[in-house]
């Protein structure tokens, strides 16, 4: 059931067993699970049911460190959150990332990898991928290919992609059912209220851009409103004007980590068929599988390196037109995007018509995507970032339309990651060239580990780590149950709690943690 703070007469307050703030991927997953298990849950979302410019403007902020290009990108204040715009790629964190990695100074997560794996499998089922093939070798066999190898030091891994990318659409039935969670839209949480003992959250205050305000009272509160917005809310004063007891934690807002995305070198394809049969996305049984190369965990440990993966990016004269057609197809699946007017369709369609038959043949006959032979190919890296205390999220002096201080992002990069990327680039160059697949011209700045290479590194729209999980307040901001240290009923959810990352995209692991937290909250409610 969906309520609107700007339209409904809800009085001065609402009550629930669990209040979840933020209706993105993790907030929706948690709320749906709790409602199915009989928990009275209220899901509070700052945006509306569709994207709105005024709501989106609340995410503006300033970057004062290494350029963080995507402060306002990848964060959407709307029912469905980032899932209304993302591509849908799902990549699990493997056990090597969850366990201790002493060569990087990473302690083990206080979550058993085997337990997390079970929640990952549950997440696949929740997202409509109950029939997806999770065995990479089986996928290659169904494609009629042998299991590919790039030598013992490189893992060729397949990622999976969710079919219905917009979770507001995926969970539409539950959201509009009287048996599902109550959802309150246009309700921007601007402050928390604590108990007199300051060890519990008593209520959250929500306000619409039109000025309507109410308090939500609950037994448990879960902040699932994003890596940046969680920090921004916790760094603001409480409803009584004081600051929360967490304000002095060194783990609030730091370390901000993201994935380091960058081009590593130019690629010349030598064997078009073999190259593309190995690296083009595949489609089987309605599911998409995307090949990526990863530096083997055993090599990372032996050489003291971070986790890094690689893929190939393509550019042709038709790239603009193909991007338009992909965006238009995405809008039909519920991802509203700029520049997808139907009036532009004839121009873009005509530009790619020469490749229409090869594209269809490749998709239908080979069950693979199509890449033109004249494409410019780049080796692109997606690299783990080493955490730095000085890399942090804070507040600027500028205020938004709700009166809240805007974000100040000071993203810092260590630079030691360049050694891992250089090692991997050389390894891939050797393997690709020795197999006659392609030649690689590595960026000379990367070869020299020149700090100037940092100018081509950009964030991957994966902010993480700003309220990390730990065994104690000295090691983290939340405990193994994602409860803020010192608070009995305030839980945080999402990539914000990740203490380390590996190469994998954060969404699948964040949803798995949401399902795990759901079980914990059910136990508390029944206890």
Look at residue 12 in the predicted model and tell me its pLDDT. Answer: 80
More confident residue, 222 or 323: 222
Q: Where are the alpha helices (DSSP H) in 435-474?
A: 444-447
Look at residue 358 in the predicted model and tell me its pLDDT. Answer: 78
Look at residue 292 in the predicted model and tell me its pLDDT. Answer: 97
**Tell me: the pLDDT tens digits for 24-43?**
999 999 999 999 999 999 99
Look at residue 147 in the predicted model and tell me its pLDDT. Answer: 87
Q: What is d(CA 67, CA 411) in angstroms, rounded to the nearest whole number?
A: 7
Tokens for 33, please give them.
Answer: 């699970």
**Tell me: the pLDDT tens digits for 296-349?**
999 999 999 999 999 999 988 766 656 655 565 555 545 455 455 656 556 656
Mean per-residue pLDDT, 481-503: 97
Mean per-residue pLDDT, 2-21: 92
Q: Are 88 and 290 in contact (CB under 8 A)?
A: no
Look at residue 344 in the predicted model and tell me its pLDDT. Answer: 58
How confident is residue 74, by pLDDT bands cut at 50, 70 and 90?
Answer: confident
How confident is residue 11, by pLDDT bands cut at 50, 70 and 90?
Answer: confident
Look at residue 342 in the predicted model and tell me its pLDDT. Answer: 57
Look at residue 10 in the predicted model and tell me its pLDDT. Answer: 86
Place of tokens 């839980």: 491
Element (H, E) at 293: strand 287-295
Q: What is d(CA 94, CA 98) in angstroms, rounded to the nearest whole number?
A: 7
Helix (H, G, I), strand (E, B) or coil at 159: strand
* DSSP single-letter state for residue 131: T
In this predicted structure, the answer to whether residue 265 has a pLDDT above a threshold of 60 is yes
User: pLDDT > 70: what percent of the chain?
Assistant: 92
CA angle 115/120/126 to nearest 5° reads 130
Look at residue 346 in the predicted model and tell me its pLDDT. Answer: 65
Q: Are 17 and 156 in contact (CB under 8 A)?
A: no
DSSP notation for 199-268: SSEEEEEEE-TTS-EEEEEEEEEEE-S-HHHHHHHHHS--TTSS--TTTT-TTSS---B--EEEEEEEEE
Q: What is d(CA 91, CA 412) in angstroms, rounded to the nearest whole number?
A: 25
CA angle 429/434/435 to nearest 5° reads 105
Q: What is d(CA 70, CA 76) in angstroms, rounded to the nearest whole number?
A: 12
Q: What's the start-to-end Cα distance of the chain, in Å?
A: 27
Element (H, E) at 478: none
DSSP notation for 75-124: ---BTTGGGGT---EE-PPPHHHHS-BGGGTBPPPSS-HHHHHHHHHHHH
User: pLDDT > 90: what percent of the chain?
Assistant: 83
Least confident of 4-18, 113-127, 381-395: 4-18
- Bond prior to 255 in cis (omega within 30° of 0): yes
Q: Mean pLDDT in the chain?
A: 92
Q: What is d(CA 156, CA 144) in angstroms, rounded to the nearest whole number?
A: 17
Look at residue 72 in the predicted model and tell me its pLDDT. Answer: 81
Tokens for 471, please give them.
Answer: 């065994």
Q: What is the pTM of this model?
A: 0.93
Helix (H, G, I), strand (E, B) or coil at 442: strand
Positive or negative CA dihedral for 48, 336, 507, 105? negative
Q: What is d(CA 437, CA 443) in angstroms, rounded to the nearest whole number?
A: 19
Look at residue 363 in the predicted model and tell me its pLDDT. Answer: 85
* DSSP single-letter state for residue 404: P
Q: What is d(CA 250, CA 477) in angstroms, rounded to the nearest whole number?
A: 8
In this predicted structure, the answer to whether residue 55 has a pLDDT above a threshold of 60 is yes
Q: Are 5 and 212 in contact (CB under 8 A)?
A: yes
Q: What is d(CA 516, CA 481) in angstroms, rounded to the nearest whole number?
A: 8
Element (H, E) at 380: strand 376-383
* Number of C-beta neighbours around residue 453 at 10 A: 20
Tokens for 241, please give them.
Answer: 């004007």
* Number of C-beta neighbours around residue 351 at 10 A: 16
Q: What is d(CA 451, CA 412) in angstroms, rounded to the nearest whole number?
A: 13
Helix (H, G, I), strand (E, B) or coil at 20: strand
Burial of 360 from C-beta contacts in 10 A (0-12 / 13-18 / 19+): exposed
How confident is residue 408, by pLDDT bands cut at 50, 70 and 90?
Answer: very high
Mean per-residue pLDDT, 470-483: 97
């Amino acid at each position: 059931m969906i309520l609107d703070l700007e339209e409904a007469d809800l009085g001065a307050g609402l009550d629930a067993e669990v209040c979840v703030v933020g209706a993105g991927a993790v907030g929706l997953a948690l709320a749906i699970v709790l409602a199915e298990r009989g928990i009275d849950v209220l899901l509070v979302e700052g945006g509306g049911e569709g994207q709105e410019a005024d709501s989106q403007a609340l995410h503006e902020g300033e970057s004062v460190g290494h350029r963080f290009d995507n402060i306002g990108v990848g964060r959407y204040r709307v029912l469905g959150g980032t899932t209304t715009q993302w591509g849908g790629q799902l990549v699990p964190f493997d056990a090597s990332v969850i366990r201790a990695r002493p060569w990087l100074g990473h302690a083990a997560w206080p979550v058993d990898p085997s337990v997390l794996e079970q929640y990952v499998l549950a997440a696949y089922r929740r997202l409509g991928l109950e029939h997806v093939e999770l065995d990479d070798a089986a996928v290659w066999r169904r494609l009629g290919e042998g299991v590919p190898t790039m030598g013992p030091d490189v893992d060729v891994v397949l990622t999976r992609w969710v079919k219905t990318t917009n979770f507001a659409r995926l969970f539409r039935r539950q959201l509009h059912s009287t048996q599902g969670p109550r959802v309150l839209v246009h309700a921007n949480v601007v402050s928390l209220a604590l108990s007199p003992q300051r060890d519990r959250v008593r209520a959250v205050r929500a306000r619409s851009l039109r000025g309507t305000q109410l308090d939500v009272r609950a037994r448990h509160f879960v902040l699932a409103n994003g890596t940046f917005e969680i920090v921004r809310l916790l760094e603001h004063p409480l409803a009584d004007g004081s600051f929360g007891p967490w304000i002095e934690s060194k783990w609030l807002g730091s370390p901000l980590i993201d994935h380091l995305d960058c081009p590593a070198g130019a690629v010349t394809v030598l064997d078009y068929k073999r190259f593309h049969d190995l690296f083009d996305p595949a489609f089987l049984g309605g599911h998409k599988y995307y090949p990526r190369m990863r530096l083997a965990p055993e090599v990372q440990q032996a050489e003291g390196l971070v986790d890094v993966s690689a893929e190939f990016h393509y550019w042709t004269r038709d790239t603009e037109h193909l991007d338009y057609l992909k965006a238009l197809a995405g809008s039909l699946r519920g991802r509203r995007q700029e520049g997808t007017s139907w009036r532009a369709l004839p121009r873009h369609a005509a530009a790619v018509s020469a490749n229409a038959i090869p594209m269809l043949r490749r998709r239908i006959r080979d069950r693979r995507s199509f890449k033109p032979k004249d494409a410019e190919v780049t080796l692109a890296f997606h690299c783990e970032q080493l955490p730095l205390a000085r890399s942090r999220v804070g507040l600027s002096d500028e205020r938004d339309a709700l009166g809240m201080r805007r974000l100040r992002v000071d993203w810092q990069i260590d630079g030691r990651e360049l050694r891992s990327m250089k090692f991997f680039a050389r390894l891939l160059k050797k393997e690709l060239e020795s197999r006659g697949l392609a030649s690689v011209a590595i960026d000379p700045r990367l070869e020299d580990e020149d700090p100037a290479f940092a100018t081509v590194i950009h964030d991957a729209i994966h902010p993480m780590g700003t309220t990390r999980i730990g065994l104690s307040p000295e090691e983290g901001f939340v405990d193994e149950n994602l409860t803020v240290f010192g608070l009995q009923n305030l839980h945080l959810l999402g990539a914000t709690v990740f203490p380390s990352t590996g190469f994998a995209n954060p969404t699948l692991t964040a949803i798995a943690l949401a399902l795990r937290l759901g079980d914990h909250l059910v136990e508390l409610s029944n206890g």
